[in-house]
Structure 1
């Protein structure tokens, strides 16, 4: 009987072992952080960071090997960034146009510069008609004029086949913005309070004025300082004596011919 019980136990243990081996393994439950860590998105981000890390490493090694080339590239990139940051927009052009038109409005038409006045008047006309356009090219901006207003519903204004040809774009450019300045507008406003037509009848040498030299400036400053000094009596007496001596000499020269005629 004991041997039968032992054989039964051995048979049951062998059956349980075989069943456990044949049964599929239970899935191991992982945490949420492990699932996120092993996801495809995290793997893609990890690869991207590795690529950028290698690229930065190559840039540093290349800059250390060729410092002159790296300096040129950094200068160009810094200049492009500065130009992009200081690129003027359309509102700055309109503000500059209003400011310069007010400056000319304070002057009489007789003393306005014809070039400045004509350029400002044409810009104001295009602005009032809604025909001014602004185009930003990143590092600089262009202002040009169009044929029609943006809100116009005419067929010519809406048809793309009748739009402005690119060959005429150069002739339509009114101003160039670069470095927070509008260069054509500023150049046209040079000497805006000088009417060149008033001096066209003068000789050529009188139409051009040259700046004074250093000696002339020093001389004028000395004369200006001397004009504030008080006159002394000695200087006046010396001047009177000099005038008297000159008059005596003149009178003697006039009387000598008369004496010779009498003799």
Structure 2
């Protein structure tokens, strides 16, 4: 048994010694081959390009910062681009907000736009397309799942030149811009004020003094009345009554004088 162990060890040592130079020769052959030369040239090119980028950024920091900002903005726009599920969620939220209002308070433009989008969605005519940095939602004439010839024929589908006329919303930077613009002042019915004169239709925000006075009056309305305040109110009320009674007595005298 001992002789067998010794023979096995000698055989393993001889095999390891024979394989070592073979491995080394293969590696050297790989380095000297065309593939090895191509890899070395590619690595050297990348190394030189990185060095030029670093040197150029040090020499022209403003230009480098502009390029970095553009690349970062492009990356952010690409990753924050909304998809069709986000459009459906935004549409349902806007429809719910309008549904909580009375028909007399809804903005006509907002209501019509949202209702048309909801009807197209229920009919299966809304479609989504991604253009890299932004997304588009457009409508088609038919639902693609219908069995009509007009819906299944590829020659009758929406063409690229007709796409701008069918776009309903643009998704960019995580927002659907047309839907948000249509929902501005969605709780103001402009048709209620169309019969008013122009100077009454336009409203201006209150000034700082008006806001402060309104807040002061609102706070004072919650204060409890003291005895002095009540006495002042009673005096003012008595004066008003006396004035009204005096005017009522003066009117008959004037009428008698005019008749005489």
| Structure 1 residues 141-177: Cα deviation after superposition (integer angstroms, max 9, x where no partner) | 1111122222344333344433334333222110010
Separation in 2, partners of 1:109, 1:240:
46
TM-score (ref. length: structure 2)? 0.75
Q: Which of 197, 205, 209 is equivalent to 1:211?
A: 205
Structure 2 equivalent of residue 175 of structure 1: 169
RMSD over aligned CA atoms reads 2.8
Q: Is the 8 A contact 2:144 2:152 kept in 1?
A: no
Offset at residue 140 of structure 1 (A) = 1.0
Q: Which moved more, 1:223-232 or 1:77-86?
A: 223-232
- Structure 1's 33 and 194: CA in aligned 2 closer, same or farther, altered over 3 A? same
- Structure 1's 108 and 60: CA in aligned 2 closer, same or farther, altered over 3 A? same
Separation in 2, partners of 1:113, 1:67:
51
| Structure 1 residues 22-55: Cα deviation after superposition (integer angstroms, max 9, x where no partner) | xxxxxxx631444444454443333222111111
Secondary structure class of the residue paired with 2:109: helix
- Structure 1's 108 and 232: CA in aligned 2 closer, same or farther, altered over 3 A? closer
Separation in 2, partners of 1:63, 1:144:
43
Secondary structure class of the residue paired with 1:84: helix
Structure 2 equivalent of residue 233 of structure 1: 227
Offset at residue 73 of structure 1 (A) = 0.9
- Structure 1's 93 and 242: CA in aligned 2 closer, same or farther, altered over 3 A? closer
Q: Which of 48, 55, 58 is equivalent to 1:64?
A: 58
Residues 82-161 of structure 1 correspond to what in structure 2 (within 5 A)? Answer: 82-161=76-155
Q: Which of 48, 59, 71 is equivalent to 2:42?
A: 48
Q: Is the 8 A contact 2:129 2:137 kept in 1?
A: yes
Offset at residue 179 of structure 1 (A) = 0.8
Offset at residue 215 of structure 1 (A) = 0.6
Residue 30 (1) aligns with residue 8 (2): no
- Structure 1's 118 and 241: CA in aligned 2 closer, same or farther, altered over 3 A? closer
Secondary structure class of the residue paired with 2:137: strand
Structure 2 equivalent of residue 14 of structure 1: none
Q: For structure 1, which runs of at least 5 residues remain unmatched after alignment?
A: 1-28, 259-263
Structure 2 equivalent of residue 79 of structure 1: 73
Separation in 1, partners of 2:32, 2:53:
31
Separation in 2, partners of 1:240, 1:198:
42
Matched residues, number = 226
Separation in 2, partners of 1:108, 1:237:
46
Separation in 2, partners of 1:243, 1:160:
85
Separation in 2, partners of 1:140, 1:163:
22
Separation in 2, partners of 1:110, 1:238:
44
TM-score (ref. length: structure 1)? 0.74
Q: For structure 2, which runs of at least 5 residues remain unmatched after alignment?
A: 1-20, 254-260
Which one has a bigger Cα radius of gyration? 1
